[in-house]
Chain A
Amino acid sequence: MPVSPVFLSIRTLSELIRTRQVSPVELATVFLDRLEAHGPRYNAVVTLTRALALEQARAAEQEIVAGRYKGVLHGIPYGAKDLLATAGGIPTTWGAAPFRDRRFDYDATVIRKLREAGAVLAAKLAMVELAGGMGYRQPNASFTGPGVNPWDTSRWSGGSSSGSGSAVCAGLVPFAIGSETWGSILGPANHCGVAGLRPTFGRVSRYGAMVLSWSLDKLGPICLTPDDCGLVLEAIAGPDASDPSTTDRPFRYEPAPPRRRLRLGVIVGVADGAEAETRRNFETAVKTLEAVATIEAVPLPVLPYEEITRTILFGELASAFEDLIETGQIGGLTAPEDRFTPYSRVAVLAKDYIRALRLRGVVVAEIDRAMRGFDALLGPSRPVPSTRLDEEFPSAIRGATRDIMGAIGNVAGLPAISVPDGFTENGVPTGIQFMGKAYDENDILAAASAYQGLTDWHLRRPPDVL
């Protein structure tokens, strides 16, 4: 191999593969060995899929040699959050002890699409049990242990896509698939200093993915760069008869830089509840963006945004996990608080859930009006940076902190990307999010790329990962 493939972008790796400077088998072997050697340090891996990966890599190699190159993901290894069903006897655990031996006999649509694009599944990656909807308050909420942050192993990688964030951050895979109901892609991307894209609701089929909330769940990529996120999104997006929520609107990634000055907005008070270093880095990032963008304050009407999203989430998860709750199987979960908190979600009345859905209509209309003319709205990706592994973290899902953009973005199904915007004195990253209008992923990818053209936060790597 002419160069180390670790921390190379998908676009660079794919060119090395296409020109046959790097073989998919060599590449898979490098990342499988890294997953095996370093994965346990971060509690990042549930199942290493070495046999499948080598089989897929050999097939890719033969196809490429035969002149049947499929595109940029052909021969690229990746990891999938362990809530995506995989056939072939590979466990799909949802991060939860009661399901640690459960196997499906089919692949999730995302897994199938990536296979068809020639990507190589190297690992099922760790996650917070049941995607974090049970009320966990601290990182030790998965049977694989707390997600460990490669920037500081005494701190959390974020959740619920913990392994997806840390594996990309530590160079264990070139990209990973995560899921977000409220904060589960942007959170790990923030804490680990990588790029995490939450697509528009309905862009990516959830068939074969664990349901936490039918009307809030999204699947998306976690990568080193926004450009890589665009490449992966194009491969996994598209309608799917098995998931009626998917949209017919086509997505084609257009990586062209903006041809005009960007117009960006900042919701009034969006960083008010954020921790001081997070706020400072966000304000610096906004100033940096003034080189390429006009930035305006965006007022929003006063509405209980977080409470609306929370009510929908609680109502839907109480139904999605009814069996687990009613049978008492939640007693087998890892986090002590996950063994009783779900009972409280049963207290959401049907009329209140429906009221929240009616208010969702109001929020969708208001945010669409407010975003008219803007390429993206900006905000801190998370209100706080990575907390210690033994520490309770503030969560908007519990109402312990504010997250107006997370609440609005998820309840309205809007796309957002998080990229790093600095570091704290403790040496962990913070992130800025670019939230776009529905179906405008290209706009936020272009804006995030433009930001990274002005900064070098995304080029920094954690200590001791090479």
Chain B
Amino acid sequence: MSEVLPIQKECEAAFELLMRRYGDRLSPEMTEGLRGAVEAVVKTVAAVRSVKLENGDAPLIGFTPVRKEG
């Protein structure tokens, strides 16, 4: 299993990717704002990753197969 990326490194990687995609639209002030928003997202998902799940813990997704008549 690969080593877990420290939060700060993950923030930097995500921020860099987003800047490549959208950076040309952002002012310096917006860029700083985006940096903070990315950090918040990374911390959020880090908390989600911290919980142990079992193989059988299925995602709660609503899905109904469809069969049209005929």
Which residues of chain A have a CB within 8 Å of any CB of chain B? 135, 215, 244-245, 303-304, 307-308, 310-311, 314, 328, 331, 336-337, 339-341, 343-349, 352, 354-362, 364, 398-399
CB atoms of B44 and A399 under 8 A apart: yes
Distance, CA A82 to CA B16, complexed state (A): 36
Q: What 0/1 readout, one digit per residue, does chain B (51-66) give for beta carbons within 8 Å of chain A?
A: 1010001111110100
CB atoms of A244 and B17 under 8 A apart: no
Given contacts A358-B59, A362-B57, A399-B40, 6 further A-B contacts (CB under 8 A): A135-B37, A307-B45, A347-B41, A349-B45, A357-B59, A361-B59
Distance, CA A332 to CA B33, complexed state (A): 17
- Known interface pairs A340-B30, A340-B34. Does A355 touch B64 (Cβ–Cβ under 8 Å)? no
Q: Which 4 A-B pairs have the closest CB atoms?
A: A357-B59, A344-B37, A307-B47, A304-B47
Main secondary structure of the interface of A (DSSP, over half): helix
Q: Which among B31, B37, B42, B62 has the highest number of chain A CB atoms within 10 Å?
A: B37
Instruction: Specify which of A347, A356, A358, A360 is in contact with B17 (CB 8 Å cutoff).
Output: A347
Instruction: Specify which of B14, B48, B53, B58 is in contact with A307 (CB 8 Å cutoff).
Output: B48
The chain A residue sitting closest to B53, CB to CB, is A358
CB atoms of A304 and B34 under 8 A apart: no
Q: Which residues of A contact B58 (CB under 8 A)?
A: 358, 361
Q: Which residues of A contact B61 (CB under 8 A)?
A: 215, 357
Q: Which residues of A contact B41 (CB under 8 A)?
A: 314, 344-345, 347-348
Distance, CA A345 to CA B44, complexed state (A): 11
CB atoms of B34 and A244 under 8 A apart: no
The chain A residue sitting closest to B31, CB to CB, is A340
Distance, CA A328 to CA B24, complexed state (A): 10
Distance, CA A308 to CA B49, complexed state (A): 10
Q: Which residues of A contact B18 (CB under 8 A)?
A: 343-344, 346-347
Main secondary structure of the interface of B (DSSP, over half): helix
Distance, CA A135 to CA B25, complexed state (A): 18
Q: What 0/1 readout, one digit per residue, does chain B (26-43) give for beta carbons within 8 Å of chain A?
A: 100011011001101111
Answer yes or no: B2 CB below 8 A from chain A CBs: no
Chain A proximity of B51: nearest CB distance (Å)? 6
CB atoms of B33 and A337 under 8 A apart: yes
Distance, CA A135 to CA B44, complexed state (A): 14
CB atoms of A304 and B59 under 8 A apart: no
Chain A proximity of B38: nearest CB distance (Å)? 5
Distance, CA A317 to CA B40, complexed state (A): 16
Q: Which residues of B contact A352 (CB under 8 A)?
A: 45, 48-49
CB atoms of B51 and A314 under 8 A apart: no
Distance, CA A354 to CA B44, complexed state (A): 14
- Known interface pairs A135-B37, A340-B30, A343-B18. Does A244 touch B64 (Cβ–Cβ under 8 Å)? yes
The chain B residue sitting closest to A328, CB to CB, is B25
CB atoms of B64 and A304 under 8 A apart: no
Chain A proximity of B70: nearest CB distance (Å)? 18
Chain B proximity of A210: nearest CB distance (Å)? 19
CB atoms of A344 and B40 under 8 A apart: yes
The chain B residue sitting closest to A313, CB to CB, is B44
Q: Which residues of A contact B60 (CB under 8 A)?
A: 357-358, 360-361, 364
| 20 A-B pairs whose Cβ atoms sit less than 8 Å apart in the complex | A215-B61, A215-B62, A311-B44, A314-B44, A340-B26, A341-B34, A344-B34, A344-B37, A344-B40, A345-B41, A346-B18, A347-B41, A348-B45, A349-B45, A352-B49, A354-B59, A355-B48, A358-B60, A359-B57, A362-B57
CB atoms of B44 and A341 under 8 A apart: no
Q: Which residues of A contact B48 (CB under 8 A)?
A: 304, 307-308, 311, 352, 355-356, 359
Instruction: Specify which of A340, A345, A359 is in contact with B51 (CB 8 Å cutoff).
Output: A359
Chain B proximity of A134: nearest CB distance (Å)? 10
CB atoms of A307 and B59 under 8 A apart: no
Interface residues of B in 1-32 (CB under 8 A from A): 14, 17-18, 21-22, 25-26, 30-31
- Known interface pairs A308-B48, A346-B18, A399-B40. Does A244 touch B62 (Cβ–Cβ under 8 Å)? yes
The chain B residue sitting closest to A411, CB to CB, is B60
